[in-house]
Amino acid sequence: MTVDIESKLKETRVFYPSKEFSSKAHVKSMEEYEELWKRSIENPEEFWSEIASELFWFEEPKEILVWNEPFAEWFKGGITNISYNCLDRHLETARKNKAAIIWEGEPGDQRTFTYQQLHREVCRFANGLKSLGVEKGDRVCLYMPMIPELAIAMLGCARIGAPHSIVFGGFSAEALKDRINDVGAKIVICADQGWRRGKHVPLKANTDEAIKNCPTIEKNIVVKRVGESVDWNDGKDIWWHDLIDGQSGVCEVTPVESNHPLFILYTSGSTGKPKGVQHSTGGYMVGTYHTTKLVFDIKEEDTYWCTADIGWVTGHSYIVYGPLANGATSVMFEGAPNHPHEGRFWELVEKYRINTFYTAPTAIRAFMRWGEQHPKKFDLSSLRLLGTVGEPINPEAWIWYHKNIGRENCPIVDTWWQTETGCIMISPLPGATPTKPGSCTRPLPGVNPEIVNESGEVVPLGSGGRLVIKQPWPAMLQTLYNDDERYKQAYWSQIPHKYYAGDSARTDEDGYFWIMGRLDDVLNVAGHRLGTMEIESAIVAHPKVAEAAVVGMKDDLTGEAVCAFVTLKMGIEPGDEIIKELKAHVDKEIGAIARPKRLIFTEALPKTRSGKIMRRLLKSIANGEVASGDTSTLEDHGVLKNLTDLASGQDQD
């Protein structure tokens, strides 16, 4: 049997949930988890039917799953509406006066919406859309900052059965144009401008530029966020406040079939046309509701904060739809974690007495670099649960998070999932699962993953391979918008009859999953296939390192060699001594095969505004090539030039 990817990094630390946490959790023990997971895999339709019954359906589903591989119809014949499930069904309970969304803007302005108030604003906006001729099935594009109107617009679209397509506010006018045209949007919603680290983001100007070449757009709805003057087109532009002025606070929901599209969200590839990931209403609703409840162990009194931008799927699922379907209080924040100071996140945790905090590993590594003195200034005692999302977390960042943010009292849920999966797939359950730093642990109930080689054979424990999912699940993507063939090719052609995630991973003797990085990023060093995540984790484990990104560079001897871009902690100077230390450290942690041939020290790495490192750009730089392809989401273009200059000036054996 061939083994695809070698796994060298070992982690032995284990952390158990406290008896107090477990006693109050939705799932209280590993025995309970095992029983639940086994039942969900052996009788998935019965399992998911029970979860769906916790939500509201105008008409009950006639069939739980119709599976015409690779197309799934979940809860077929069921008639529902996700806006109703997020809002209306809470209004008959004490939740009607509970905070649904607590929002803080970058300059410090604040707004809170109870479920009753949010319902009224969503209805007014939905009626406004209807007054513009928006009907069930019409697509609406949202290009907005992190303001309450973004969540209101999503729920308003869903209320009338109009699929929304959110374009992240960091995208360029060109990227916006491409997505509007691909989805054929009738309406676009933007803001005059947005705030980003004290500066204005020209959202209206970008939208104006984009829709010059978007023939399907009939109206541009503009939220007044910053208040500075913007160009205006009387025939096409309409202010949000004018649209909702005089609209009724009551809007009957449009019942939709479970498989009616809820949204299309584009994932940008390194090159070529973005993929429009299409999600259904019923299946996505059940998946996000269920995973929010179990993974975050949602309690009625919780104040929950996911720090993502709603422009990404994490914000769709775990700021808006999942929390609101559970009747939770969800915090929204417009600003950056280091503006106007490096303690801004912790200031908000103290201010709103936040209980659950869900953020990205790249943010945690930034917190590490800024220093533990910042969280120490604030009272974080309200926190009871921490989470990570977006990419694998290296063990040392996990430990730092555990000690400095959780104060060693909070379970950490390290979650693996994708835009395409719609909801969390592999994660600890905080009251049940012993956690290991760097592992997303075990699959959630209803999720059946495995690790295989390129022939589809299951690899031995401890060996790396391709992560696949063996059974359909409710929140899975329906297809790629208007491109069934690409959907089949991208996700179902590599390993027959299994969903292909595109990630490398391994399992250990406890059945825990360890994500090793994207398969596109696997290095081939002298015939050894190594995942980037393990080498990066080894480098970051060195006490002088804050962050690292590893890529492959051409090598005459080994075919490919390891090149590491490294950001050192504050006050540490790069030089020959630290180069020797880090190479020796990787030798000790993994082995000589993973030793970096080059170490390039940099103050910053090229990242998207969602915090993901753009490794393909680093690979180009490491190989002396011009960094090209789509850079529209890159936060700081100056980082690229600095890195190119650094790389050309640092030569090592």
What's 234's domain CATH number?
3.40.50.980
Distance between CA atoms of residues 369 and 338, nearest Å: 12
Half-sphere exposure of 69 (CA within 13 A, CB side): 11
Domain boundary among 237, 254, 271: 254
Residue 351: inside a domain, yes or no?
no
Identify the pLDDT of residue 2: 42
Determine which helix (DSSP H) or strand (DSSP E) holds 588, and give its type and residue range. helix 576-589
Rg for the chain, CA atoms, rounded = 24
560 part of a folded domain? yes
Of 254, 270, 305, the one marking the end of a domain is 254
pLDDT at position 3: 45
With b for 16 or more beta-carbon neighbours within 10 A and e for fewer, the 57-84 pattern comes to beeebeebbeeeebbbbbbbbbbbbbbb
pLDDT tens-digit profile of 427-484?
999 999 999 999 999 999 999 999 999 999 999 988 889 999 999 999 999 999 999 9
Query: Which is nearest to 579 in space by CA: 642, 652, 530?
Result: 652
Instruction: Look at 1 and 273; give whichever has higher pLDDT.
Output: 273
The 10s digit of each residue's pLDDT in 567-580 is 998 889 998 999 99
Identify the domain containing residue 206 by its residue range.
115-254
The rounded distance, in Å, linking the Cα atoms of 83 and 579 is: 55
Q: Which of 5-9, 347-351, 401-405 has the lowest mean pLDDT?
A: 5-9
DSSP conformational letter for 465: E
Over residues 527-540, mean pLDDT: 78
Burial class from Cβ neighbours inside 10 Å (0-12, 13-18, 19+) for residue 4 reads buried
Pick from 51-60, 435-444, 493-502, 631-640: least confident: 631-640
Task: Tell me: pLDDT of 539 over 50.
Answer: yes
Cβ–Cβ under 8 Å, residues 569 and 391: no
* 35 pLDDT more than 70: yes
Cβ neighbours of 260 (radius 10 Å): 21
Residue 547 lies in a domain: yes
The distance from CA 324 to its chain's CA centroid, rounded to whole angstroms, is 17
Query: Using 50, 70 and 90 to split pLDDT, how confident is the model at 653?
Result: very low
pLDDT score of 140: 98
Summarised one tens digit per residue, pLDDT across range 382-425 is: 999 999 998 889 899 999 999 999 999 999 999 999 999 999 99
Q: What is the pLDDT of residue 1?
A: 37
The torsion region of residue 532 among left (phi > 0), alpha (psi -120 to 50) and beta comes to: alpha
Considering the domain boundaries, does residue 312 fall inside one? Answer: no
Maximum distance among all Cα pairs of the chain, rounded to whole angstroms: 73
pLDDT digit string, tens, across residues 375-384: 999 999 999 9
Q: Which pLDDT score, from 0 to 100, does residue 651 have?
A: 47
473 Rama class: left (phi>0) / alpha (psi -120 to 50) / beta: beta
Residue-wise pLDDT tens digits, 204-236: 999 999 999 999 999 999 999 999 999 999 999
Q: Which residues contact 383 (CB under 8 A, 6 or more apart)?
A: 349, 354, 355, 356, 357, 405, 406, 407, 409, 410
Q: Hey, how many other C-beta atoms are within 10 angstroms of the C-beta on 631?
A: 14
Angle ∠(411,412,417) on CA atoms, nearest 5: 140
Q: CATH number, domain at 575? A: 3.30.300.30
Q: What is the mean pLDDT of the chain?
A: 92
How far does CA 289 lie from the centroid of its chain? 16
- In this prediction, residue 171 carries a pLDDT of 82
Q: How far apart are CA 48 and CA 627, in angstroms?
A: 46
Last residue of a domain, one of 254, 280, 308: 254
Q: Average pLDDT for residues 611-623, to the nearest whole number?
A: 81
- What pLDDT was estimated at residue 170? 82
More confident of the two residues 645 and 561: 561
- Does position 250 have pLDDT exceeding 50, yes or no? yes
Note the pLDDT tens digit of each residue in 136-180: 999 999 999 999 999 999 999 999 999 999 998 988 888 899 999
Q: Average pLDDT in the 531-550 region? A: 87
Residue 63 — pLDDT band, cuts 50, 70, 90?
very high
pLDDT at 532: 79
The pLDDT-based confidence of 287 (bands split at 50, 70, 90) is: very high
pLDDT over threshold 60, residue 650? no
In a domain, 150, yes or no: yes
Q: Is residue 144 part of a domain?
A: yes
- Residues, the chain: 653
In a domain, 640, yes or no: yes
pLDDT given for residue 51 in this prediction: 98
Instruction: Give the number of domains in the chain.
Output: 2
- pLDDT for 296 equals 98
pLDDT above 60 for 544: yes
Task: Report, as an integer, the average pLDDT of 548-554.
Answer: 89
Query: Which pLDDT score is estimated for 646?
Result: 64
Q: Is the pLDDT of residue 31 over 60?
A: yes
Question: pLDDT tens-digit profile of 80-99?
Answer: 999 999 999 999 999 999 99
**10 Å Cβ neighbour count for 250?**
11
* Cβ proximity of 81 and 256 under 8 Å: yes
